[in-house]
Amino acid sequence: MRAVIITRPGDSKVLEIHELPTPEPVADQVLVRVRAAGLNRADIGQREGNYPAPAGSPAHIPGLEFAGEVAAVGPLVTKWKLGQRVMGIIGSGGQAEFLLSHEGMLVEIPANLDYIQAAAIPEVFMTAHDALFTQGGLQMGERVLIHAVGSGVGTAAVQLAHAVGATTYGTSRTQKKLEQAKPLGLTMGMTDANFAQEVAQATNGEGVHMVLDVVGAPYMEQNINALTTWGRMVFLATMGGKQANVDLLKVMMKRLTIRGCTLRSRTLDEKMTVTRRFATQVVPLFAHGSVQPIVEEIYPLHEIAHAHDVMEENKNFGKLILRID
Amino acid sequence: MRAVIITRPGDSKVLEIHELPTPEPVADQVLVRVRAAGLNRADIGQREGNYPAPAGSPAHIPGLEFAGEVAAVGPLVTKWKLGQRVMGIIGSGGQAEFLLSHEGMLVEIPANLDYIQAAAIPEVFMTAHDALFTQGGLQMGERVLIHAVGSGVGTAAVQLAHAVGATTYGTSRTQKKLEQAKPLGLTMGMTDANFAQEVAQATNGEGVHMVLDVVGAPYMEQNINALTTWGRMVFLATMGGKQANVDLLKVMMKRLTIRGCTLRSRTLDEKMTVTRRFATQVVPLFAHGSVQPIVEEIYPLHEIAHAHDVMEENKNFGKLILRID
């Protein structure tokens, strides 16, 4: 099989397409013929040697999400048949012609989506769904502030929150991304300098019930100020800094909850739970069209290095997808 | 009626016993003839003018908890009859011969407890129960670290955690208080300098599932280190400082939750929910004796100033109770 290979830590030139032996499924494993694979910013860290794959994953093959069809099944597999169209997340190894997945980590692709669209879904929608609903307990009608709303997770989050009747506030440093997020269900966008003040004005001083953050330390004080009583802050990354100063008295008086979480470091059973909840709660919304994958650009396998260069410019609004014919 | 009165902000000498008109219950109010009232450290703050009573409470009469009997009921009261023995928390006004309570804020006293014992229960056991179980989600068999385990809330928390089969670790600056907490169900006590390290050693490096904190900033780093994956930190006070430095990356990788909460600033419906959960889940444990109120000393009403002086020395292990004959 053909696969993207990280030949050594470095810039995009270290990425090559190699021919490797196709793996064989054992036990509860499913062999997937990958048709499309999403790119993620974490791929850059993995390529540079700063974000290692979890143990047991093919660390030299990048790729955290994929869409394709079932090509073979191990003897213990009960849920899948040859030819079924599936998508999923994986610790590493998605950017290859074939991969092995635990059968509990796969989700059937709704009939109205093609492989390219499906490959743009798992990582950002599972992350956003888990963060907003499972970790943050977002309820219908609540107000939520989504930082980096023009990012992959941001555009997924704003759609999911909008789909359950939440009022959505979003920040981005790029005015154009705020405009692009409007049709996805963004109630009000703001550039980030004084977001707590803007939230206060927009909510009659009441604040939001939830904040979804990826910035970390520089936003902490404003996040706390932006939250209303019993508010929840969930953060998925600390791109602006990890050593945050927290006013515990405010947290206490407002009865706030601060929770950090990542998908990647979770155990298999935890990831299967996330996958199952996603299949139950989010896939139907794709099927009836109330949320949709956002694809910015499609690259053939041999343009992987160029795709990384584009991703590093951080100008894309939607997902970059690798097509594996 | 006789009542403790804060005549002006100041030291214990500003406390006097005055004769005031007995209030009359309207609507859903219950008039309680108070027989005993607990003292709390918050009374000192209120006396000094630093911890004002919530709106609607008799701010000049201290007292956050009480035990007594139903003396009269408003026309909308459905749950209580004259003479029933009740206990409860109140925003202020517990240290008086009579008080008015919403009927939903009262709990019947189990038959095996007298008024003195009952007056030692509501504030610390409701706080500990809400923090450990409702806010922190403590589960049977988990490991919990309780700071200031010799305090009122600490001794309540260690008993409740022990009663559901949790393993309990506790800190105190006083070795004697650790010894006194042992028979209440404390698995292991430690003085506080290097508690994260001691917890790690005691748990094979796995850490605790929950931390109940009242110290705040100075303990934050060690609290984070002491927690295991998906651990929860609930803090009720910030006695050591409120500006905490938090390593968000650790919080994220361990998927930790940090939650602050207070009872006093909650709305009436929230306090009634806490009261109802307490009546359902904790009162039966008192009735069959698996948890018990800890009374250190009993003072008659006219010794209120002396009782405050004793409380300020912070040497008591159990509760200080005001007897109102």
Chain A residues within an 8 Å CB radius of B254: 260
Question: How many alpha carbons lie under 13 Å from residue A149 in its C-beta half-sphere?
Answer: 35
Tokens 């955290």 — which residue?
A64
pLDDT at position B89 is 97
pLDDT at position A262 is 87
pLDDT at position B55 is 85
pLDDT at position B315 is 82
> Regarding predicted confidence, which is higher, B263 or B200?
B200
Closest CA to A211 of A166, A243, A179: A166
End position of a domain, from candidates B208, B243, B260: B260
Q: CB-CB: which of B216, B245, B254 is closest to A243?
A: B245
Residues B60 and B100 in one domain: yes
Mean pLDDT of the region B225-246:
96
pLDDT at position B117 is 98
What's the pLDDT tens digit per position in B130-147?
999 999 999 999 999 999
Residues B240 and B204 in one domain: yes
Residues of chain B contacting A, Cβ within 8 Å: 216-217, 220, 235-238, 242-249, 251-262, 265-266
Element spanning B140, H or E: none
pLDDT at position B207 is 97
Element spanning B66, H or E: strand B65-73
Q: Which amino acid is located at B22 in the chain?
A: T
CB-defined contacts A:B, below 8 A: 96
Q: What is the distance between the alpha carbons of residues A222 and B68, in angstroms, rounded to a whole number? A: 46
**Which residues does chain A have with pLDDT short of 70?**
none
Residues A220 and A242 in one domain: yes
pLDDT at position A52 is 86
Q: Which amino acid is located at B8 in the chain?
A: R
Residues A133 and A93 in one domain: no
pLDDT at position B54 is 86
pLDDT at position A265 is 83
Give the domain CATH number at A37. 3.90.180.10
End position of a domain, from candidates B260, B276, B299: B260
pLDDT at position B36 is 98
pLDDT for B192 beyond 80: no
End position of a domain, from candidates B260, B292, B313: B260
Residues B140 and B104 in one domain: no
Residues B71 and B145 in one domain: no
Give the domain CATH number at A178. 3.40.50.720
CA distance A15 to chain B (A): 28
Task: State the ipTM, two decimals.
Answer: 0.84
Cβ–Cβ contacts within 10 Å for residue A319, how many? Answer: 26
Residues B157 and B61 in one domain: no
Quote the domain boundaries for residue B313.
Answer: 2-121+266-323
CB contact under 8 A, B248 and A253: no
- Do residues B103 and B77 touch, judged by C-beta distance below 8 A? yes
Residues B277 and B231 in one domain: no
Q: Which amino acid is located at B61 in the chain?
A: I
Q: Read off the tokens for A134.
A: 């499972």
Chain A residues within an 8 Å CB radius of B249: 238, 242
Residues A151 and A173 in one domain: yes
CA distance B90 to chain A (A): 18
- Residue of chain B with shortest Cα separation from A218: B248
- Residue of chain A with shortest Cα separation from B257: A259
CB contact under 8 A, A243 and B244: no
Model-level pTM? 0.89
Percent above pLDDT 90 for chain B: 92
Q: CB-CB: which of B217, B247, B253 is closest to A248?
A: B217
Cβ–Cβ contacts within 10 Å for residue A205, how many? Answer: 9
Residues B249 and B298 in one domain: no
Chain B residues within an 8 Å CB radius of A244: 245-246, 248
pLDDT for B218 beyond 90: yes
Tokens 């994929």 — which residue?
A66
Mutation for testing the A interface, residue in B51, B220, B233, B249 having most A CBs under 10 Å: B249
pLDDT at position B316 is 87
Q: CB-CB: which of B243, B252, B258 is closest to A262?
A: B252
Residues B57 and B143 in one domain: no
Q: What is the distance between the alpha carbons of residues A170 and A185, in angstroms, rounded to a whole number? A: 10
Mutation for testing the A interface, residue in B246, B262, B273 having most A CBs under 10 Å: B246
CA distance A260 to chain B (A): 4
Write the CA distances from B166 to B188, B196, B198, integer angstroms: 12, 18, 18
CA distance B166 to chain A (A): 23
Backbone angles phi, psi at A299, to 5 degrees: -125, 140
Residues of chain A contacting B, Cβ within 8 Å: 216-217, 220, 235-238, 242-249, 251-262, 265-266
Residues A130 and A254 in one domain: yes
Please count the helices (runs of H) and the strands (runs of E) in chain A: 11, 16
Write the CA distances from A2 to A23, B50, B120, B184, B299, integer angstroms: 12, 70, 72, 64, 83
Number of domains forming the structure of chain A: 2
pLDDT band at B212 (very low <50, low <70, confident <90, very high): very high
- Do residues A84 and A69 touch, judged by C-beta distance below 8 A? yes
CB contact under 8 A, A245 and B247: no
Q: What is the distance between the alpha carbons of residues B107 and A152, in angstroms, rounded to a whole number? A: 51
